[in-house]
Amino acid sequence: MKGSEEDAGLAGKVALVSGGGAAGDGIGNGRAAAILLARAGVKVLVADRDLGLAERTVAMITAEGGVAAAHAGDVTSEADCGRLVDAAVDRWGRLDFLDNNVGIGSRGSVVDEKPEEYRRVMQVNVESMFLLSKYAIPAMIKTAKGGAIVNISSISALRPRGLTTYTTSKAAVIGLTQAMAVDHGRDNIRVNCICPGPMYTPMVYARGMSEAARSQRANASVLKTEGTGWDVGHAVKFLLSNHARYITGQVLVVDGGVTLQGPERDSRDH
């Protein structure tokens, strides 16, 4: 049976990818998704707080013949979220997809965490997805008569290991995803969530990581290997495509089987 990118219903569509930059030429979840979507014929608005990082992603896409544009934006700002959605629609006349990637870590317990840090993590990890979706959904309905959204959570939401504020925020992303799926199914908008495991991405290795720590992370999975941003990016592409046309409100775990194992004690963020 012959398959093609056209079968996936991606070519000619428009996507907004938040957190689409990454340090240097590194491949984070957002950059991987942006590149893979562009390879499938999607026009991609790459958004990042650091315009230079978004521009590097766009350069990588255009070098392969893809179509993309970079925009700076702070997704904790309602005004910026509105501007990002408008930028995609103004440039290409429609918006079909939203990939919500932005997130930060936190390590404190409920006793140790400062209230202001709790509020900041919830703002970045949850409210940003709320705000971008708030503006993206009406644009999808108006310009494309539907669409699809993917939110990035974490396996920490499924198997808590401390990190109270981070875990709480990522669990909230799952709840947000499922509620949005119910609210907007009638609008022909699918909303799904990905829970990545220990991915070797610039956000992780920029803080420094020993080979021993990498080995520990790899051994936490039943496949005995680390994941990469490409693994998450391929999952995003699938969930946005027509191949997932009957999937909504679901949590796709991309972790190499980490959650099938016993408690994993690596303190680094997933």
Question: What positions carry a catalytic annotation?
Answer: 166
Q: Are 128 and 98 in contact (CB under 8 A)?
A: no
Dump the DSSP string for 177-190: HHHHHHHHGGGTEE
Nearest to 270 by CA among 211, 220, 224: 220
3-state secondary structure 10-48: CCCCEEEEECCCCCCCCCCHHHHHHHHHHHCCCEEEEEE
Q: How far is CA 180 from CA 15, 65, 66, 232, in A?
A: 18, 34, 31, 21
- List, in sequence order, every residue forming a beta bridge with 45; answer none if it has no partner: 16, 69
Q: How far is CA 224 from CA 93, 205, 217, 221, 253, in A?
A: 45, 18, 8, 5, 16
